[in-house]
Amino acid sequence: MENIMSIHVGAREARNKFADLMGQVHYGKETIIVERSGKPMVAMIPVDMFEKMIAEREARFQVLDRIKSRLPDVPEEKVLQDVAEALSAVRKMKKAE
């Protein structure tokens, strides 16, 4: 995912400056993290980033569905476990590089 600047604001400030924050997100391509009592609660992100995230998620599920369809006799839990283990191994290899 692209490198994007995050700004942290309190809930009260977010409420008072909502229109300005929307502009920062939309035009400035920034993300806004809204906090309550210092705890991150929600994020405001550009809609194109949101749509890209949804499309990527759907693509991952399509891959998983193709894997499951090729292994009809294997329980879904086993397929999910094997996929999770494979992803973990790939991530470890990438970290080691």
- Beta-strand relationship, 39-44 and 31-36: antiparallel
Q: What Cα–Cα distance (Å) separates residue 27 from each residue in 9, 73, 90? A: 18, 50, 36
Q: For residue 1, what pLDDT is reported? A: 46
Averaged pLDDT, 68-90: 82
Averaged pLDDT, 67-80: 80
Q: For residue 11, what pLDDT is reported? A: 97
Q: For residue 97, what pLDDT is reported? A: 78
φ, ψ of residue 4 in degrees (nearest 5): -135, 145
* Greater model confidence, 55 or 5: 55
CATH for 6-45 (3.40.50, 3.40.1620, 1.10.10, 3.30.1370): 3.40.1620
Averaged pLDDT, 31-52: 95
Domain ranges in the chain are 6-45, 49-96
Q: Write down the pTM of the prediction.
A: 0.60
